[in-house]
């Protein structure tokens, strides 16, 4: 699967609504009882998931969302033409391309690529940019636009207005950026008055999101003087490695004289003329998990075994659960063994895969403990609360903790219930895709608002349908 193609109705995007952002109780979600759920959410548009089938086949996961975002923002700062081969064509990346167009860039979409041309002397000096619910786009652009002359307003959905950016803005202000809050301090909407970033030294708390540090590392390359960043806390560290790898493709980088310190000597980014986006391990985890769960076999093509993407580690976690992995030059084959074992896992380095593991946990012998992910409450939804609630409605037992979940494998040796349930993805693409995994072995499940997967994996339902036959 490559980038720019038409979508079926199942793959179309839909706006994302707001959701609570700051719940952090410790509670147990009891299994649902009865023959049917009460008040199914959006049942008329729900998509049923076939249960009891073994997943088999081969597919190429979509291109990396993380790298597509970073390459597009780096192209903005490099200010040179770029042909991006196999970019992710999804809701979030389309929003970023629209932002480039608002900034005066010419964007030509072709099958399997997008061609970017900078505006030159015709660049606008102001723009209002819609970030939807794309947190990566928002944070990377706050940093980048601090270095682009003009006045830039950034806003998005109600949920985006609940996603924090205060530590990033504070650090940028330390470096001389002019950024004004338009509403609640620490959250969008905000206005960036861009220009030459003076540079200097700042201290950053990136405990909420590694995107704060990624934004600073990128923006520092356009500063007037060297930038030193002292990092007080860092969540999801592998995403910073993705940023550094992307910077290297544009001739940039950072020194790391200490584990908690980064130093950037500003220099013009030398953008490549053509750049290919590798496959997305985050998306690949869903078919891989489906194979492990159903005892099937899936070959995932176009994945780089040496990729800096942190979610590559989830494949190793699947091995701990009992699956088998076979790497080849063209990708990896994941084979389920018919049995899953519970794990105790700190997923702070790959938080996007918490819902994926939680989806498998009720079928794993023992008790699965997921920890180290308090920042998961600040994503497209509160993912800890969302998975606890929806798995509970399916009949699983889930204990929600401030930084994770505890899920006993009650269906490892017993049949799951089969009463019909329409689960709510909480307007979150990863919740929808993860609950679809559970539904492969828990009969009677439909996913409300299935189109939310268009945020990162527009072809998810097509690929799942092909794998279950």
3-state DSSP helix/strand/coil % of the chain, to nearest 5: 35, 25, 40
| 382 part of the active site | no
Residue with tokens 């992995």: 325
DSSP labels, 421-461:
EEE--TT-HHHHHHHHHHHTTSTTEEESSGGGGGGT-TTHH
Could you tell me if 380 and 430 are in contact, meaning their C-beta atoms sit under 8 angstroms apart?
Answer: yes
d(CA 427, CA 450): 9
Closest listed residue to residue 300, CA positions, set 463, 161, 159, 426: 463
Query: Which residues touch 44 (CB under 8 Å, ≥6 apart)?
Result: none
Dihedral sign of CA atoms 220, 94, 208, 303 in order: negative
Q: What is the rounded CA–CA span in Å between residue 98 and residue 226?
A: 31
Distance from C-alpha of 163 to C-alpha of 293, rounded to nearest angstrom:
33
Peptide bond before residue 189 is cis, with ω within 30 degrees of 0: yes
Residue 303 burial (CB count, 10 A): 22
Q: What are 206's strand-pairing partners?
A: 234
With contact defined as beta carbons under 8 Å apart, do 425 and 448 qualify? yes
Cβ pair 373, 343 in contact under 8 A: no
Task: Give residues with Cβ within 8 angstroms of 115, minimum separation 6.
Answer: 81, 82, 83, 84, 107, 108
Q: For the packed helices 91-102 and 65-78, what is the interaxial angle rounded to 10 degrees?
A: 10
CB 66 within 8 A of CB 239: yes
190 strand-pairing partners: 154, 181
Listed in sequence order, the residues at least 6 apart from 230 whose beta carbon sits closer than 8 Å to its beta carbon are 201, 202, 203, 204, 260, 261
Task: Determine which one of 86, 89, 352, 428 is catalytic.
Answer: 352
Active site (catalytic) residues? 352
């Amino acid at each position: 699967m490559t980038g720019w193609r038409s979508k079926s109705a199942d793959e179309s995007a839909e706006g994302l609504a707001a959701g609570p952002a700051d719940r952090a109780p410790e509670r147990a979600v009891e299994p649902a009882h009865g023959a049917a759920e009460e008040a199914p959410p959006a049942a008329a548009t729900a998509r049923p998931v076939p249960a009891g089938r073994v997943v088999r086949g081969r597919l190429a996961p979509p291109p990396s969302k993380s790298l597509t975002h970073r390459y597009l923002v780096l192209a903005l700062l490099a200010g040179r033409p770029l042909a991006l081969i196999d970019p992710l064509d999804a809701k979030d990346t389309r929003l970023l391309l629209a932002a480039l167009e608002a900034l005066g860039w010419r964007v030509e979409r072709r099958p399997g690529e997008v061609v970017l041309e900078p505006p030159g002397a015709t660049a606008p000096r102001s723009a209002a940019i819609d970030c939807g619910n794309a947190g990566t786009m928002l944070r990377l652009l706050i940093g980048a636009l601090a270095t682009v002359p003009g006045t830039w307003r950034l806003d998005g959905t109600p949920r985006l207005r609940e996603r924090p950016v205060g530590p990033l803005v504070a650090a940028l202000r330390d470096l001389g950026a002019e950024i004004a809050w338009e509403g609640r301090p620490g959250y969008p909407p905000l206005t960036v008055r861009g220009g030459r970033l003076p540079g200097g030294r700042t201290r950053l708390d990136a405990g909420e999101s590694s995107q704060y540090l990624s934004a600073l590392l990128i923006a520092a390359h356009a500063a007037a003087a060297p930038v030193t960043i002292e990092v007080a806390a860092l969540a999801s560290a592998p995403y910073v490695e993705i940023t550094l790898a992307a910077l290297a493709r544009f001739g940039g980088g950072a020194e790391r004289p200490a584990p908690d310190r980064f130093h950037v000597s500003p220099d013009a980014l030398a953008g490549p003329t053509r750049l290919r986006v590798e496959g997305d391990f985050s998306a690949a985890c869903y078919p891989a998990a489906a194979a492990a769960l159903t005892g099937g076999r899936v070959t995932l093509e176009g994945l780089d075994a040496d990729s800096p993407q942190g979610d590559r580690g989830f494949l190793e976690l699947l091995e701990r659960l009992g699956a088998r992995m076979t790497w080849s030059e063209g990708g990896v084959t994941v084979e389920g063994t018919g049995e899953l074992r519970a794990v105790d896992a700190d997923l702070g380095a790959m938080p996007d895969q918490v819902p994926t593991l939680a989806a498998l946990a009720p079928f794993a012998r023992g008790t699965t403990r997921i920890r180290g992910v308090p920042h998961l409450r600040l994503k497209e939804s509160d993912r800890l609360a969302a998975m606890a609630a929806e798995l509970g409605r399916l009949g699983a037992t889930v204990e929600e903790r401030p930084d994770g979940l505890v899920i006993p494998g009650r269906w490892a040796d017993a049949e799951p219930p089969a009463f019909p349930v329409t689960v709510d993805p909480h307007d979150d693409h990863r919740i929808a895709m993860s609950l679809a995994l559970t539904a492969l072995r828990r009969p009677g499940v439909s996913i409300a608002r299935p189109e939310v997967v268009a945020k990162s994996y527009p072809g998810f339902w097509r690929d799942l349908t092909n794998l279950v036959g």
